[in-house]
């Protein structure tokens, strides 16, 4: 709905991609097409989680004018689905990341980039994005009181 909100979500995607690069660097795996594909998947998940979290926050802002309460309520409602999605993805890609099957070496960078990005974006979606959203829209949100 606004450029500020879009900027917050975009910053969250940039930060989650840094988790991909960090994990690839730790495991000494080069950035190839499958790792890049994992990066694109991470960006989609982070954008989806950010949009849903901010949408819930704006819904609660209509009910209660307290900005912090609305952010906390949105975080509580969205925490379980975000954690379940992230943990299922991480544990689902774990066998592929450990290269436990035939031909898994080809997709190992995809799995490692997904695990790295998901691990970092789990915290970003629940802590950083709501905090940045509050900081960027503080004046506008406080005016709703």
> Could you give all domains of the chain from N- to C-terminal order, each with its CATH number?
3-142 (1.20.1640.10)
Given a cut of 80, is residue 65 above it in pLDDT? no
Reported as a pLDDT band with limits 50, 70 and 90, residue 38 is very high
**For residue 127, what pLDDT is reported?**
84
**For residue 125, what pLDDT is reported?**
79
Signed CA dihedral, 102, 107, 109, 114: sign only = negative
Given a cut of 60, is residue 144 above it in pLDDT? no
Reported as a pLDDT band with limits 50, 70 and 90, residue 142 is low
Given a cut of 90, is residue 53 above it in pLDDT? no
Mean pLDDT of the 103-111 span:
87
* Predicted structure pTM score: 0.81
SS3 28: coil
**39: number of CA atoms within 13 Å, CB side?**
17
Given a cut of 60, is residue 33 above it in pLDDT? yes
Mean pLDDT of the 123-142 span:
78
Given a cut of 80, is residue 91 above it in pLDDT? yes
Place of tokens 């544990």: 91
SS3 124: helix
């Amino acid at each position: 709905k606004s450029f500020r909100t879009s900027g917050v979500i975009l910053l969250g995607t940039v930060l989650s991609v840094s988790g991909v690069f960090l994990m690839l660097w730790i495991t000494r795996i080069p950035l190839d097409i499958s790792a890049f594909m994992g990066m694109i998947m991470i960006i989609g998940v982070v954008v989806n989680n950010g949009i849903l979290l901010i949408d819930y926050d704006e819904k609660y802002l209509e009910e209660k004018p307290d900005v912090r309460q609305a952010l906390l309520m949105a975080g509580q409602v969205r925490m379980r689905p975000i954690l379940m999605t992230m943990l299922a993805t991480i544990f689902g890609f774990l066998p592929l990341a450990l290269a436990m099957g035939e031909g898994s070496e080809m997709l190992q960078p995809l799995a490692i980039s997904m695990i790295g990005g998901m691990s970092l974006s789990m915290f970003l979606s629940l802590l950083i994005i709501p905090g940045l959203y509050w900081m960027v829209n503080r004046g506008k949100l406080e005016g709703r009181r």
